[in-house]
């Protein structure tokens, strides 16, 4: 069986953009999609600040697969139907963290998929994301990342379904399996999509495990197994994207051991901060950041930590200058580090304390845009008194 996803739409699968798309689609639920005009384009372009080319085709014609793969919406009886997941993401503040969202997709997406032309009820179910995750973790003890070529040779070539135990993945041997047609690009974009998760990172065309706590991860992404697929693709999509109980939804959250202890002044425990905290404390992100930017100078108080503390290797922490619920940005090659800055521990704690004061003052849970987040961060830096 060919492995399939979507292709050429990486920006639309960035979590922040998925949330914005969800908000627009939820507001349009029930509209007719076969009218003369394009009822989706103006609000989507306005609400997401993304283009939806080509302009001479309706958005639904070219992006229906994006919305389906993201498990946001499908067409039923020529009308837009949005999923419960879409509505959860659209709420202010969102009722789903990024981890819950990704883990939901990882555990529910199966091949054959109901939104694809080759959907059928007889082929065996493959959980591609779970298969890749298990393979990545089987290599993580060796400090290895997994490349696109590895996925084809080891995972797809050995007909992995994602239901096998970890011992099976640890013993996989390479095969001669190579991509067929557009399969290479589609699977590559699956890996990029996965790299936004808190426990996976995408660097230099390789996917890495970002935690050694495999048991916690596997509990959150256990495959959603169903005895039989439904004959009608739309019915199957609705069954797969059903949110389940609150308990099932809660299990999707990954709570990893705190690597550094709480940040004073940081509103710990709320979902909106969960992604922010995990990202800033990621060992992989930290390692790649300081390999790329080796100058050990605090972005706020300009302390040269190597000069001040010559006996210490590096005490700087990373701060993510984006809305607190935002994930890190990725592209086809690697994780982007542009929205991260190094801060000394004192400034980092103080910046988060400033955020809490500002958010409380405005009566909101998070910054509404990257522009607002950058503006508040710059203001906080200016108010630091440097003697």
Please state the rounded mean pLDDT for residues 227-250. Answer: 87
Closest C-alpha among 378, 251, 272, 256 to residue 15: 272
Residue 382 phi/psi, 5-degree rounding, is -65, -25
Confidence of residue 71 (pLDDT cuts 50, 70, 90): very high
Asked if 138 and 219 sit in the same domain, the reply is yes
Distance CA 112, CA 122 (A): 9
What pLDDT shows up at residue 142? 63
Model pLDDT for residues 142-195, shown as the tens digit of each residue: 678 999 999 999 999 999 999 999 999 999 999 999 999 999 999 999 999 999
Strand partners, 206: 147, 203
Whether 189 maps to a domain, the answer reads yes
> Cβ distance 103 to 198 under 8 Å?
no
| SS3 of residue 298 by DSSP | coil
Residue 216 CB contacts under 8 Å (≥ 6 apart), including other chains = 254, 255, 256
For the cut 70, the answer to whether the pLDDT of residue 257 exceeds it is no
Whether 27 maps to a domain, the answer reads yes
For the cut 80, the answer to whether the pLDDT of residue 352 exceeds it is yes
What pLDDT shows up at residue 94? 67
Whether 231 maps to a domain, the answer reads yes
Beta carbons within 10 angstroms of residue 143's beta carbon: 8
Strand partners, 147: 206
Domain with residue 45: its CATH number is 1.10.10
Asked if 56 and 171 sit in the same domain, the reply is no
Distance CA 357, CA 193 (A): 34
Model pLDDT for residues 27-65, shown as the tens digit of each residue: 999 999 988 889 999 999 999 999 999 999 999 999 999
Helices (H) and strands (E) in the chain, counts: 17, 7
Domain with 61 in it: 10-95
* Percentage of the chain exceeding pLDDT 90: 68
What pLDDT shows up at residue 204? 93
The total of structural domains in the chain comes to 3
Asked if 242 and 282 sit in the same domain, the reply is no
Whether 207 maps to a domain, the answer reads yes
Whole-structure pTM value: 0.89
Asked if 158 and 243 sit in the same domain, the reply is yes
Whether 2 maps to a domain, the answer reads no
Closest C-alpha among 335, 353, 337 to residue 345: 353
Quote the mean pLDDT of the chain.
Answer: 89
Whether 162 maps to a domain, the answer reads yes
What pLDDT shows up at residue 165? 94
Distance CA 312, CA 305 (A): 8
Distance CA 235, CA 52 (A): 27
Residue 32 phi/psi, 5-degree rounding, is -80, 135
Q: How many CA atoms lie within 13 A of 245 on its CB side?
A: 3
Asked if 136 and 61 sit in the same domain, the reply is no
Whether 123 maps to a domain, the answer reads no
Residue 319 phi/psi, 5-degree rounding, is -120, 135
Distances 298 to 239, 277, 352, 363 between C-alpha atoms, Å: 50, 19, 15, 30
For 57-71, 84-98, 191-205, 372-386, which range has the lowest pLDDT when averaged over its residues? 84-98
What pLDDT shows up at residue 115? 94
Distance CA 214, CA 216 (A): 5
Distance CA 313, CA 161 (A): 44
Strand partners, 111: 126
Model pLDDT for residues 113-123, shown as the tens digit of each residue: 999 999 999 99
For the cut 80, the answer to whether the pLDDT of residue 260 exceeds it is no
Strand partners, 340: 320
Find the angle CA(156)-CA(159)-CA(130) to the nearest 5 degrees.
Answer: 70
For the cut 80, the answer to whether the pLDDT of residue 259 exceeds it is no
Distances 59 to 81, 86, 310 between C-alpha atoms, Å: 15, 18, 57
What pLDDT shows up at residue 280? 85
- Its sign, for the CA torsion 127, 335, 275, 28, is negative
Most confident of 88-92, 108-112, 283-287: 108-112
Higher pLDDT, 287 or 92: 287
Closest C-alpha among 45, 85, 88, 49 to residue 67: 85
What pLDDT shows up at residue 264? 37
Asked if 151 and 245 sit in the same domain, the reply is yes
What pLDDT shows up at residue 211? 77
Burial (0-12, 13-18, 19+ Cβ within 10 Å), 129: buried
Whether 172 maps to a domain, the answer reads yes
Asked if 317 and 235 sit in the same domain, the reply is no
Alpha-carbon torsion, ordered 207, 328, 197, 240, to 10 deg: -120
Confidence of residue 216 (pLDDT cuts 50, 70, 90): confident
Please state the rounded mean pLDDT for residues 296-322. Answer: 93
């Amino acid at each position: 069986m060919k492995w399939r996803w979507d292709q050429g739409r990486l920006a639309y699968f960035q979590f922040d953009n998925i949330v914005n798309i969800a908000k627009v689609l939820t507001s349009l639920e029930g509209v007719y999609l076969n009218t003369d005009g394009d009822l989706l384009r103006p609000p989507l372009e306005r609400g997401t600040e993304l283009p939806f080319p080509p302009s001479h085709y309706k958005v639904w014609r070219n992006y229906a697969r994006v919305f389906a793969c993201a498990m946001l919406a499908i067409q039923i009886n020529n009308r837009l139907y949005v999923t419960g997941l879409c509505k959860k993401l659209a709420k202010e503040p969102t009722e789903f963290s990024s981890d819950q969202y990704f883990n939901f997709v990882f555990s529910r997406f199966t091949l054959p998929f109901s939104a694809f032309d080759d959907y059928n009820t007889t082929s065996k179910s493959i959980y591609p994301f779970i298969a890749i995750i298990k393979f990545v973790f089987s290599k993580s003890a060796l400090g290895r990342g997994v490349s696109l070529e590895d996925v084809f040779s080891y995972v797809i070539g050995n007909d992995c379904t994602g239901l096998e135990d970890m011992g099976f993945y640890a013993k996989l041997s390479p095969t001669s399996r190579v991509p067929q047609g557009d399969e290479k690009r589609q699977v590559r974009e699956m890996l990029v999509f996965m790299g936004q998760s808190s426990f996976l990172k995408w660097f230099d065309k390789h996917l890495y495990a970002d935690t050694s706590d495999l048991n916690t991860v596997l509990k959150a992404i256990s495959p959603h197994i169903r005895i039989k697929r439904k004959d009608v693709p739309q019915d199957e999509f609705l069954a797969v994207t059903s949110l389940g109980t609150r308990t099932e939804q809660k299990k999707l959250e990954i709570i990893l051991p705190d690597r550094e202890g709480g940040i004073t002044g940081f509103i710990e425990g709320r979902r909106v901060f969960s992604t922010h905290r995990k990202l800033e404390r990621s060992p992989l992100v930290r390692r790649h950041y300081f390999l790329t930017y080796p100058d050990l100078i605090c972005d706020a108080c300009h302390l040269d930590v190597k000069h001040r503390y010559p006996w210490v290797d590096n005490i700087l922490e990373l701060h993510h200058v984006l809305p607190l619920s935002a994930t890190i940005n990725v592209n086809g090659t690697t994780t982007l580090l542009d929205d991260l800055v190094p801060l000394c521990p004192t400034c980092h704690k103080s910046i988060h304390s400033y955020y809490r004061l500002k958010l409380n003052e405005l009566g909101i849970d998070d910054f509404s845009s990257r522009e607002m987040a950058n503006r508040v961060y710059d203001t906080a830096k200016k108010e630091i008194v440097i003697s």
